Structure 1
């Protein structure tokens, strides 16, 4: 059984709003329209895709939902600095289908550097959300003090805190239907990309998913934090998660 706390909020956060996709608009265009280029805070991207593996991931997270329906979300990534070409923005992620393959994930503790343009197609990736956290990106990207490596670099060298490579193998076994592999979430084993982001932000002093242990993090928990956990942040004199979302695809029962 997955141990998850419920928020005390009676209403959804007013800082996290729906923004419908316009006709013919791709995901990068949607993101630019909804504040991708603002130079404040840390940006987190939620994606809900179609396909075999995304289907398995979305259903696996139904245990976090009170009605046990599939999640809208199959992936989460952390955004780097946004330049003149938004599609080229670096993503820090652990994808189960990396375009260039897995190489040797132990050298980076599973961390992959992708591109925002990979998720541009609104047909294949119909659900999208952009979250803005009240954490300066420099806190996890830049060296902490003179002569010390950044939180991002330290994560890649410190598998004793979170072994994302092990998580990756456990989830691939489940997603590919290998042997008797069950849903890792039920054992508190989070989806690697979410657990990686959680680890980075915890080191920066921010709790992204108050409802779950950090190692059990997943895209659905991030979604619920943005929608329902604003009283938790308010009680700690912290700004709520801001952002926008669009859910154009639902897995029907």
Structure 2
């Protein structure tokens, strides 16, 4: 049976690129969307055209009960996942004094609580496989060095990095690795139109934005058998920004 990988937030952008790259590597993909069902269906068709299996789950990673019910049902029907890519994320940028309670809460609930909400329901089934497994969390350069106007986002991503490192210790003897990929300035629709791209490029030794496909390549490596001795690490994909 082909190993399957759940990729959250995989209807577009970095998540879409990750799902397609992993499908090309031979995995079956469990796609996820919160609202972009039509976009997810398009990605599903693209994966199926590659000769791999794909299905779509729809839920909000911030809603714990929904995550638990839908993921447990999927695992019950199709079996435990080989890997999970926690990619779904949310930004609500602004100067710290101007942030609202909702700006803070929604970013934390989606990005940090989402780590628990997605992984907790699928963890014991992964362990019971008694086989190698992979977890990759998409974090951010913001979680490593902080970004102006992103106190909430930086806090949430730094929290995910800490959680991933702790989980890696717990799962090490189970042959399940846990790592993070921390993108920098990536050319996606999630990039806020107010981001001063020209100024940021001056700080990046590579002098360009990254692509979703470059992030996907890093995830693909960490999902592979070649990365079996790599765990508790953060792989930065940021052109040398930090």
Q: TM-score range by the shorter chain?
A: under 0.3
Q: By percentage of residues, which structure has more helix?
A: 2
State the TM-score, normalizing by the size of structure 2.
0.27
State the TM-score, normalizing by the size of structure 1.
0.26
